[in-house]
Chains A and B, each alone.
Chain A
Amino acid sequence: MSGNILTLRNVETYYGPILAIKGISLDVPAGRIVTVLGANGAGKTTILKTLCGAMDPQKGKISFLGKEIQKTDPDKVARMGIAHVPEGREVFPLLTVQENLMMGAYGRKDKQGIKNDLDLVYTYFPILKERIKQKAGYLSGGQQQMLVLGRALMSRPRLMLLDEPSLGLSPLFVQDIFEIIRRLNQEQQMTMLLVEQNANMALKHGDYGYVLENGRIVMEDTCQNLMASEDIREFYMGIKDEGVRGKRRWKKRKTWR
């Protein structure tokens, strides 16, 4: 584990006239899971889209493995080793499971390596192997999530960008998915940037976290410390200390300390 695999410095991205992220600086150390928390519209997804090249930042620097990658085309970014697992799964519904996975290896030529990685994916997601010939559109949500994780792995990335992998999944599946994410991190030393609304899960499995609000980072710390923070507990995990009347409906003011 040596140094930061990815660094962002003062990144600003617009949607037309709207400034969605207002100067973000963050670091992703190799071999770690870094998580970005935030409410709807905080700018989490925009960060990932800016990273993978789907959006161009107006300002700021993004460097990946020592090279500046801002404003690089998405396909080049993918070839450099950043795999984006988009929000809402986005499988190719009419292709089979195996074809979907092979789409992940589209940029690769080493046949043996691809075969090995395919086997690896099947060991992590045995359910996919059972449905090898099935069209991806017929998979359940959780299976589709596994499929896109597998597809991302097929490009043998150095960094995975995970956009709300827990979205729309049953609690049991959420646990499974995070279990696999953690195993990938530990066994394959996969570095991950994880964007989540499910703060509880993200903080449990992540190493370091940033809290995003209105396009700005308001807090950063190790996930352990964040879990203990009162603001995080109240606003992101929904844990409230009991008020005098038993339940407390009103919210304290955020202080971000």
Chain B
Amino acid sequence: MSKPVYEPVVIEGCDTIIKLFRYRVRQLGKKVAMREKNFGIWESFTWEEYGKKAREIGMGLISLGLKRGDVCSILSENNKEWLYTDMGILGSGGVTSGVYTTDSSNQLQYLVSDSNTRFLFVENEEQLDKYLEVRDKLPDVKKVIVFNPEGLHEFQDDNVIMIEDLYDLGRAYEKEHPECWDREIDKSDPEDLMILIYTSGTTGPPKGAMISHRNCMFQIETFDKVTELSDRDEQLSFLPLCHILERLVTILIPLKSCGTINFVEGSDTVPENIRELSPTIFIAVPRIWEKFYSAIQLQVKDATRFGKWFYHLAVGIGEKAADYKIRRESIPVGLSMIYWVTKKLILNNILRMMGLDRLRWAATGAAPISPDLIRWYLAMGVEMFEAYGQTECTAVASTNPIGDAKLGTVGKAIPGTEMQTSEEGEILIKGPSVFLGYYNQPEKTKETVVDGWLHTGDVGIRDEEGYITITDRLKDIIITAGGKNISPSEIENQLKFSPYITDAVVIGDRKKYLTCLIMIDQENVEKYAQDHNIPYTNFASLCKAEEVVDLIWGETVKVNKKFARVEQIKKIRLIDQLLTAEDDELTPTMKLKRKFVNKKYEELIASMY
């Protein structure tokens, strides 16, 4: 197997992420690097502070015996300490691996032992308890460091220290070895393993994807070329940092853009925080964009007749203008003027209400999205584009260039990489973004990367201009009993576009016809039930109400009209449990896991055949 060797990517004279970090800290000093809301007040933290804390953590880890290449895991929600720690680990030559806060203690145990974690960082006592439950099975963890000491004042354990203690250790070590930090950073090499990203295992246990400095350097350099970052950018961080996309967006991109990161208070305050901060760039998963859209639809329904009329008028004009953009034609002068006025008078107000009025552009990725939804955002005046990628190619493989986008496709391969389709239609990627392999799994790596080509497991088509359309995951393609190949995600995306449907799983592999399991949108369906006097008490009874089933069936029929005869959904069932990220049915990014759902709801599915 010949491994292609790529030139290191150099930004500001630095060829690794940690060298670039050191450079930025010196260069930017007092500029605000991040903000965090504490007790209701947004507090700012400068690059200087970021650098100092990272350095203390790094030195502290070395004083505790960290060796180059040792893995450290972080189990925390997004916060400034996550970033300090990540850079501290990298600075001392360690490798960072993230653990989802929704993971159970057993999952934590698996991830920590699979990655040979030496040092474990946990957010608070809740997460610490997960470690304590399985500590007997984790003898190799040298120290556990807790970010937030609240509730642990009386707690004593030789293996557990607080982050303040680590800062002290770091400062003490620094006094004796003042040159250590720079020396360790200078040792970093572009080809070094930098981070481990565990991919959610829909088949078998999670695998640790090894990402190098070069992968990340290439990715941020290219991202800047594609989107034009700015040092005045304000970003919001709320998706889990263990996910490659959020890692790229929150930690790595600011190293290139010098922009500011803002951490949301919690998952339920995202809408408020967006309104407070009004980000200038926004990269999110489709689920978030669907939520915004649903919220507006809901408000429109409650608006006065006058308000409704204005909204539909404005969106109508916006869609006309958007359609020109979609066809990549210039908008006629007359329409362009009318659109400008509607934007000023109506659409911008709606965007301001959502906190999206300062957006320079918005990106969606990590899951399929309905093209209609992108069209709506374009109509609203939001420059939204779709990107595609996966952990194994360091998040982004292709993007729809702004102003040259083709709706329904995931765009062209990012500069410096190649994309092809195999004979089976599988999408293959080659370039400096392709990862180093799976941690301790050479067999799996060999299956995934062949002759430098990353096999993505996605099926798609590449048109003559190089735009890629993804049909589905290779293993998700449904072959009906009649022998027809059907891509479930296309149908599912159309279903999810309905404000009443949060997620859907189309079923029908080796079956006579297609059926679908649907997760309803609680807020919107409850509102529907109230408006139509449908009695219900809790979520389960809401899902059982005949009128609600009829409503969802009506939405399904609407979607069915867009598809061919073999692709018609014949029956549906609603999932009558409100699922949260802790549930095994959902990935931490809140996608339904097809395999798992198929198994868990076997009986429900069987009832449709």
Please name all residues of chain A whose beta carbon is closer than 8 Å to the beta carbon of B125 when the two chains form the complex. 245, 249-250
- Say whether B151 contacts A9, CB under 8 Å: no
Please name all residues of chain A whose beta carbon is closer than 8 Å to the beta carbon of B535 when the two chains form the complex. 9-10, 25
A146–B529 Cα gap in the complex (Å)? 41
Is B608 engaged at the interface, CB distance under 8 Å to the other chain?
Answer: no
- Say whether A217 contacts B538, CB under 8 Å: yes
Pairs A–B under 8 Å by Cβ, sample size 13: A10-B535, A59-B533, A60-B533, A217-B537, A218-B538, A218-B539, A244-B129, A245-B129, A249-B151, A250-B124, A253-B582, A255-B578, A257-B577
Do A248 and B530 contact each other (CB < 8 Å), given the known contacts A217-B538, A220-B537, A256-B538? no
Q: Tell me the minimal C-beta distance from B128 to chain A in angstroms.
A: 8
**Given pairs A10-B535, A245-B129, A255-B580, 18 additional interface contacts (CB within 8 A):** A9-B533, A10-B530, A10-B534, A12-B530, A23-B530, A23-B536, A25-B535, A26-B537, A59-B530, A60-B533, A210-B537, A217-B537, A220-B541, A249-B151, A250-B125, A250-B126, A250-B151, A255-B578
Do A248 and B129 contact each other (CB < 8 Å), given the known contacts A10-B530, A23-B530, A59-B530? yes
A217–B536 Cα gap in the complex (Å)? 9
Please name all residues of chain A whose beta carbon is closer than 8 Å to the beta carbon of B538 when the two chains form the complex. 217-220, 256
Q: Tell me the minimal C-beta distance from A221 to chain B in angstroms.
A: 9
Please name all residues of chain B whose beta carbon is closer than 8 Å to the beta carbon of A25 when the two chains form the complex. 535-537
- Say whether B537 contacts A10, CB under 8 Å: no
Please name all residues of chain A whose beta carbon is closer than 8 Å to the beta carbon of B578 when the two chains form the complex. 255-256
Is A216 engaged at the interface, CB distance under 8 Å to the other chain?
Answer: yes
- Say whether A23 contacts B151, CB under 8 Å: no
Question: What is the 8 Å Cβ interface bit string for chain B, positions 152-179, against chain A (1 contact, 0 not)?
Answer: 0001000000000000000000000000
Of A25, A210, A253, most buried by chain B (CB within 10 Å of CB) is A25
Q: Tell me the minimal C-beta distance from A106 to chain B in angstroms.
A: 35
Q: Tell me the minimal C-beta distance from B535 to chain A in angstroms.
A: 4
Please name all residues of chain A whose beta carbon is closer than 8 Å to the beta carbon of B577 when the two chains form the complex. 257
Is B526 engaged at the interface, CB distance under 8 Å to the other chain?
Answer: yes
Q: Tell me the minimal C-beta distance from A38 to chain B in angstroms.
A: 13
- Say whether B526 contacts A245, CB under 8 Å: no
Please name all residues of chain A whose beta carbon is closer than 8 Å to the beta carbon of B557 when the two chains form the complex. none
Please name all residues of chain A whose beta carbon is closer than 8 Å to the beta carbon of B529 when the two chains form the complex. 10, 23
Is A17 engaged at the interface, CB distance under 8 Å to the other chain?
Answer: no
Report, nearest first, the 7 A-B pairs whose CB atoms are least far apart: A25-B535, A250-B126, A244-B132, A23-B530, A217-B537, A249-B151, A9-B535
For residues 230 through 257 of chain A, which have their beta carbon under 8 Å from a beta carbon of chain B?
A: 243-245, 248-250, 253, 255-257
A25–B536 Cα gap in the complex (Å)? 6
Question: CB-nearest residue of chain A relative to B533?
Answer: A10
Please name all residues of chain A whose beta carbon is closer than 8 Å to the beta carbon of B536 when the two chains form the complex. 23, 25
Q: Tell me the minimal C-beta distance from A252 to chain B in angstroms.
A: 9
Is A71 engaged at the interface, CB distance under 8 Å to the other chain?
Answer: no
Is B43 engaged at the interface, CB distance under 8 Å to the other chain?
Answer: no
Is B133 engaged at the interface, CB distance under 8 Å to the other chain?
Answer: yes
**Contact pick for A253, options B132, B541, B580, CB 8 Å:** B580
- Residues in chain A within 8 A of chain B (CB atoms): 9-10, 12, 22-23, 25-26, 59-61, 210, 216-220, 243-245, 248-250, 253, 255-257
A250–B539 Cα gap in the complex (Å)? 26
Q: Tell me the minimal C-beta distance from A84 to chain B in angstroms.
A: 23
Please name all residues of chain B whose beta carbon is closer than 8 Å to the beta carbon of A244 when the two chains form the complex. 129, 132-133
A216–B151 Cα gap in the complex (Å)? 32
**Contact pick for B530, options A22, A210, A217, A220, CB 8 Å:** A22
A256–B538 Cα gap in the complex (Å)? 9
Question: CB-nearest residue of chain A relative to B582?
Answer: A253
- Say whether B133 contacts A216, CB under 8 Å: no
Please name all residues of chain A whose beta carbon is closer than 8 Å to the beta carbon of B539 when the two chains form the complex. 218, 256
Please name all residues of chain B whose beta carbon is closer than 8 Å to the beta carbon of A23 when the two chains form the complex. 526, 529-530, 536
Q: Tell me the minimal C-beta distance from A149 to chain B in angstroms.
A: 28
- Say whether B582 contacts A216, CB under 8 Å: no
Please name all residues of chain B whose beta carbon is closer than 8 Å to the beta carbon of A59 when the two chains form the complex. 530, 533
For residues 501 through 557 of chain B, which have their beta carbon under 8 Å from a beta carbon of chain A?
A: 526, 529-530, 533-539, 541
Question: CB-nearest residue of chain B relative to A210?
Answer: B537
Q: Tell me the minimal C-beta distance from B606 to chain A in angstroms.
A: 22
Question: CB-nearest residue of chain B relative to A217?
Answer: B537
**Contact pick for B129, options A12, A243, A255, CB 8 Å:** A243
Please name all residues of chain B whose beta carbon is closer than 8 Å to the beta carbon of A245 when the two chains form the complex. 125, 129, 132, 155
Q: Tell me the minimal C-beta distance from B76 to chain A in angstroms.
A: 14
Q: Tell me the minimal C-beta distance from A87 to chain B in angstroms.
A: 24
Question: CB-nearest residue of chain B relative to A8?
Answer: B535
Please name all residues of chain B whose beta carbon is closer than 8 Å to the beta carbon of A257 when the two chains form the complex. 577
A248–B128 Cα gap in the complex (Å)? 11
Q: Tell me the minimal C-beta distance from B134 to chain A in angstroms.
A: 9
Please name all residues of chain B whose beta carbon is closer than 8 Å to the beta carbon of A26 when the two chains form the complex. 537
Question: CB-nearest residue of chain B relative to A254?
Answer: B580
Of A22, A60, A245, A257, most buried by chain B (CB within 10 Å of CB) is A245
Q: Tell me the minimal C-beta distance from A220 to chain B in angstroms.
A: 5
Please name all residues of chain A whose beta carbon is closer than 8 Å to the beta carbon of B126 when the two chains form the complex. 250
Please name all residues of chain B whose beta carbon is closer than 8 Å to the beta carbon of A250 when the two chains form the complex. 124-126, 129, 151
Please name all residues of chain B whose beta carbon is closer than 8 Å to the beta carbon of A10 when the two chains form the complex. 529-530, 533-535
Question: What is the 8 Å Cβ interface bit string for chain B, positions 231-263, against chain A (1 contact, 0 not)?
Answer: 000000000000000000000000000000000
Please name all residues of chain A whose beta carbon is closer than 8 Å to the beta carbon of B132 when the two chains form the complex. 244-245
Of B132, B537, B580, most buried by chain A (CB within 10 Å of CB) is B537
Please name all residues of chain A whose beta carbon is closer than 8 Å to the beta carbon of B534 when the two chains form the complex. 10
Please name all residues of chain A whose beta carbon is closer than 8 Å to the beta carbon of B580 when the two chains form the complex. 253, 255
A196–B563 Cα gap in the complex (Å)? 53
A59–B535 Cα gap in the complex (Å)? 12
Q: Tell me the minimal C-beta distance from B368 to chain A in angstroms.
A: 28
Question: What is the 8 Å Cβ interface bit string for chain B, positions 334-355, against chain A (1 contact, 0 not)?
Answer: 0000000000000000000000
A243–B151 Cα gap in the complex (Å)? 13
A59–B531 Cα gap in the complex (Å)? 9
For residues 567 through 600 of chain B, which have their beta carbon under 8 Å from a beta carbon of chain A?
A: 577-578, 580, 582
Question: CB-nearest residue of chain A relative to B126?
Answer: A250
A157–B23 Cα gap in the complex (Å)? 80
Please name all residues of chain A whose beta carbon is closer than 8 Å to the beta carbon of B129 when the two chains form the complex. 243-245, 248, 250
A220–B539 Cα gap in the complex (Å)? 10
Question: CB-nearest residue of chain A relative to B133?
Answer: A244
For residues 35 through 71 of chain B, which have their beta carbon under 8 Å from a beta carbon of chain A?
A: none
Q: Tell me the minimal C-beta distance from B122 to chain A in angstroms.
A: 12
Do A216 and B526 contact each other (CB < 8 Å), given the known contacts A245-B155, A250-B124? yes
A210–B133 Cα gap in the complex (Å)? 34
Question: CB-nearest residue of chain B relative to A251?
Answer: B126
Question: CB-nearest residue of chain A relative to B537?
Answer: A217
Q: Tell me the minimal C-beta distance from A88 to chain B in angstroms.
A: 28
Q: Tell me the minimal C-beta distance from B575 to chain A in angstroms.
A: 13
A10–B531 Cα gap in the complex (Å)? 9
A243–B55 Cα gap in the complex (Å)? 34
Please name all residues of chain A whose beta carbon is closer than 8 Å to the beta carbon of B582 when the two chains form the complex. 253, 255
A219–B526 Cα gap in the complex (Å)? 15
Question: CB-nearest residue of chain A relative to B579?
Answer: A255
Q: Tell me the minimal C-beta distance from B178 to chain A in angstroms.
A: 39
Please name all residues of chain B whose beta carbon is closer than 8 Å to the beta carbon of A217 when the two chains form the complex. 537-538
Please name all residues of chain B whose beta carbon is closer than 8 Å to the beta carbon of A248 when the two chains form the complex. 129
Please name all residues of chain B whose beta carbon is closer than 8 Å to the beta carbon of A216 when the two chains form the complex. 526
Q: Tell me the minimal C-beta distance from A27 to chain B in angstroms.
A: 9
Question: CB-nearest residue of chain A relative to B131?
Answer: A244
A160–B533 Cα gap in the complex (Å)? 27
Question: CB-nearest residue of chain A relative to B536?
Answer: A25
A245–B129 Cα gap in the complex (Å)? 7
Please name all residues of chain B whose beta carbon is closer than 8 Å to the beta carbon of A210 when the two chains form the complex. 537
Of B526, B529, B536, most buried by chain A (CB within 10 Å of CB) is B536
Q: Tell me the minimal C-beta distance from A17 to chain B in angstroms.
A: 13
